[in-house]
Amino acid sequence: MIQIEAERTASNRAANLLQKSREQTRLILDSLPYRVMVVNMDMTIDAVNRTFLKEHGVEYEEAVGRACYFVRHGLDKPCSDYGRTLLPIKESIEELKTKGLVST
């Protein structure tokens, strides 16, 4: 029982740190005057800032977790399926795979 409680406490602590980190990231992104959209490798949106939300007319909850191509362009499948060129993104993903970090 002691081990279970220790694991639960550690899990709660990790969840709190993650939440605090997300809040700090959102504050930083919201302070930027540029549209910012953080996209996961599976093309779902991890975070957006206020400028992005305002310019695209969506709420935070409507954007986060959804496919970037849906939120940004209203598409039901990736932009490349519609013949749109994504060379900078494809190059960035390859750079991310090799270097572990990229900014576009």
Q: Say if residue 26's pLDDT is above 60.
A: yes
What is the pTM (predicted TM-score) of this model? Answer: 0.67
What is the tens place of the pLDDT at every residue in 47-98?
999 999 999 999 999 999 999 989 988 899 888 888 776 656 666 677 777 7
| Cα Dmax for the chain | 57
Q: What mean pLDDT comes out for the span 8-14?
A: 82
Q: What is the rounded CA–CA span in Å between residue 101 and residue 92? A: 9
- At 46 the three-state DSSP class reads strand
Domain assignments of the chain as residue spans, ordered by start: 1-31, 33-104
Report the first-to-last Cα separation within the chain, whole angstroms: 48
Question: What pLDDT does 55 receive?
Answer: 92
What is the tens place of the pLDDT at every residue in 27-50?
999 999 999 998 887 889 999 999
**φ, ψ for residue 51 (rounded to 5)?**
-60, -45
